[in-house]
Structure 1
Amino acid sequence: MTPDLGIPHVAFHLPQRIDDVRCWAKRTGQNSSTVLNLERAGMRYYRNADGQTAIGLAASAIQRLLLASAVAPGEVDCIVYVHTLQGSIAPPPQSLPGLLCDRFGFIDAEAFSFAQQHCASALGALRVIRAMFIARPHMKRVLLVGADIMPLESERLMQTEGILGDGAFAAFIERGAAVNRLLAIATYASGQGWRAVLTNEEPRLAAQHFFAARSLIRRTVQQAHFTLDDIQRILPHHLDLPAWYRLLDALKIPQERLFTENFARIGHVTVSDAFINLAQCHGLVRGRPFLLFARGVGGFSAVALLLR
């Protein structure tokens, strides 16, 4: 039997330093067309860790979550840490999830990390967490936390789609939660996207991403026995805003249902986009579904449908 899960509490932490795309381009020697492409994609600003570590960002997000939820550390059954960049984990023999357990006193919590789906890992981890709740009836609460920092300024560019910012999120996944109930999760992986790291095949991959996203969204909504017209909001990853508008047109979903406020001011924070948006998307109507979406390099995509 599928457990009744929800996400009642979400928090995030962004570094204080705010950089803009044009200054970044000047510092890293980018040409003017790169800047114009980023601005067309909806990018303006991003957050810079400026020497902060991934564990520091993750700890700040967890601290905010604990304060907002009033959950005691002993009430956390498991910690799942997600990330994309290899620099966002502690080097062996250390364990970043273990370090977080030590810092906050999660003495009874299991802990592990999940990164195989890259930027889609946070939503992909929801499938793993749901399976854990099914297998362990005693489990009540899982802490899902993600953080990433980009160590090299020149590597922030996500082709023509956006720019990578630093940040972290933390969320509680709870059994029997009354809000943000998890209705359906679906993931997609092609593997073909890996060639894009080495070759210039953006048009082919853009079409692939478009059709994969359209199919995944339709399938997830149908799985939960809703229609696309029922979706009150879509909380996206912050890449290629014009492509999102084209996707919504193809799905016949009004463009105003896309939550776009964080594209320009935050940029793409790898595993954190969907949960930052969940924390900041106000005015969600009770009893109506909404959708989280993420895509990772390598052809990974993930969708989660929630009910407010």
Structure 2
Amino acid sequence: MIGVSEIKTFRPASRLSLKEITQDLKLTQQQYDKLKKQGLKQVMSSGDMTCFDMLHSLLRGCEGLWENDDLDCIIYAHALQSHPDGHDLLDKLKMIHELQGVPAFEISDLNCASSLMAIQHACHRLSHSKKNKALILVAEKCYSPFLRTITDISIISDGAALCVLDRHTESDIILDISMYIDCKITQSEHMDEETFKWFQLSYFLGIKKVLQLSLKKTNKTLNDISLIIPHNVNKDTWAYMGKSMGIPSEKIFTENIGALGHANTCDLFLNAEDVLQSKKLKSGDLYFMISVGLGGAYTCMLMQR
């Protein structure tokens, strides 16, 4: 069965405090208080490093995790639609790391949820491939200060991660990947005020719907789930979701929200790396990974440790 054999992350050492961001963007005291209440304290800042730089740095220490001729594909997922690295980022990385023969493409269709969409595509390819592994890359950088905030929702971090999928792994097996798209709010960049308010109000309802979809498909119940690993949007979202579904707060991993911020497609892997290196899960435990993309894209992946 296909599973995740490795997760590695790049976490910039520099941090920007909530107060610094508030001052730089001239946020109101009300906005500052709301973000602080939601558990956000600081974000990671990559300084002069680009997405290419972060991925290059990450890949330099990871070449031994796969054989190049055993890679079916490389998929680069990102939320920001364009950046100064340009569309040749993958070509440059492949050239430097001698991966020229591996098919590679980008996914950004579901914004922050593009990371799980990339894994779904890679799993589909692997299930029809003679090769055994696929490489998922994610990287995010706020090239403009104004990209740092999603109004009243979160503050954005920089960072990068990679995920290796393997057809023959015996742990962290992928049991299901489910998606739900709210067609009323698919316009992520041009939502009017009324639509954006609906997105804020319906956020946790979409999460609830996609989780229920996955549980139904796999004939599982919430009682079977040991842990939920979400992305770091804010604590309020996961508190509302947990309360509405009867999930105890200790079953939802939110420990990184304050320290790392919301790194778009990356923080799901930041959180998973920390969880899998800890003793929070034992062999055989079921757990969810959840990510939501601005514009009403809800995704979850059910895994078995």
TM-score normalised by the shorter chain: which range applies? over 0.9
SS of the equivalent of 1:81 reads strand
CA distance in 2, matches of 1:257, 1:124: 24
1:235 aligns with one of 225, 229, 234: 229
How far has the Cα of 1:42 moved from its partner?
1.4
1:293 aligns with one of 290, 295, 299: 290
Q: What one-letter code is carried by the residue in structure 2 that aligns with 1:263?
A: I
SS of the equivalent of 1:86 reads coil
- Residue 149 of structure 1 is matched in structure 2 by 141
How far has the Cα of 1:183 moved from its partner?
0.3
- Residue 177 of structure 1 is matched in structure 2 by 169
CA distance in 1, matches of 2:206, 2:242: 13
Question: How do 1:11-30 residues align onto structure 2 when only pairs under 5 Å count?
Answer: 11-30=8-27
Q: What one-letter code is carried by the residue in structure 2 that aligns with 1:153?
A: P
Question: How do 1:1-308 residues align onto structure 2 when only pairs under 5 Å count?
Answer: 4-66=1-63, 69=65, 71-88=66-83, 90-91=85-86, 95-136=88-129, 138-193=130-185, 194=187, 197-201=190-194, 202-281=196-275, 282-283=278-279, 284-308=281-305
The superposition leaves residues 252-291 of structure 1 with CA deviations (integer Å, 9 ceiling, x where unpaired) of 1111111111100010101112111110012211101100
How far has the Cα of 1:307 moved from its partner?
0.4
Tell me, yes or no, if the aligned pair for 1:237 and 1:268 is still in contact at 8 Å: yes
Tell me, yes or no, if the aligned pair for 2:71 and 2:131 is still in contact at 8 Å: no
Q: What one-letter code is carried by the residue in structure 1 that aligns with 2:202?
A: Q
How far has the Cα of 1:196 moved from its partner?
7.3
TM-score by length of 2: 0.93
How far has the Cα of 1:72 moved from its partner?
3.9
CA separation of 1:262 and 1:203: change in aligned 2, threshold 3 A: same
Tell me, yes or no, if the aligned pair for 1:289 and 1:307 is still in contact at 8 Å: yes
The superposition leaves residues 1-52 of structure 1 with CA deviations (integer Å, 9 ceiling, x where unpaired) of xxx1000100010212111111111122111111111111211010112121
CA separation of 1:106 and 1:205: change in aligned 2, threshold 3 A: same
Tell me, yes or no, if the aligned pair for 1:87 and 1:151 is still in contact at 8 Å: no
Tell me, yes or no, if the aligned pair for 1:140 and 1:174 is still in contact at 8 Å: yes
The superposition leaves residues 204-256 of structure 1 with CA deviations (integer Å, 9 ceiling, x where unpaired) of 22232222110111111222222101111111111131121111121111111
CA separation of 1:195 and 1:292: change in aligned 2, threshold 3 A: closer
The superposition leaves residues 68-122 of structure 1 with CA deviations (integer Å, 9 ceiling, x where unpaired) of x3x3444433111111113347435xx2222111111113311111111110001
SS of the equivalent of 2:34 reads helix
Tell me, yes or no, if the aligned pair for 2:2 and 2:168 is still in contact at 8 Å: yes
TM-score by length of 1: 0.92
Gapped runs of 5+ residues in structure 2?
Answer: none
Q: What one-letter code is carried by the residue in structure 2 that aligns with 1:305?
A: L
SS of the equivalent of 1:25 reads helix
How far has the Cα of 1:306 moved from its partner?
0.5
CA distance in 1, matches of 2:62, 2:244: 37
CA separation of 1:223 and 1:63: change in aligned 2, threshold 3 A: farther
CA distance in 1, matches of 2:204, 2:52: 34
Tell me, yes or no, if the aligned pair for 2:188 and 2:294 is still in contact at 8 Å: no
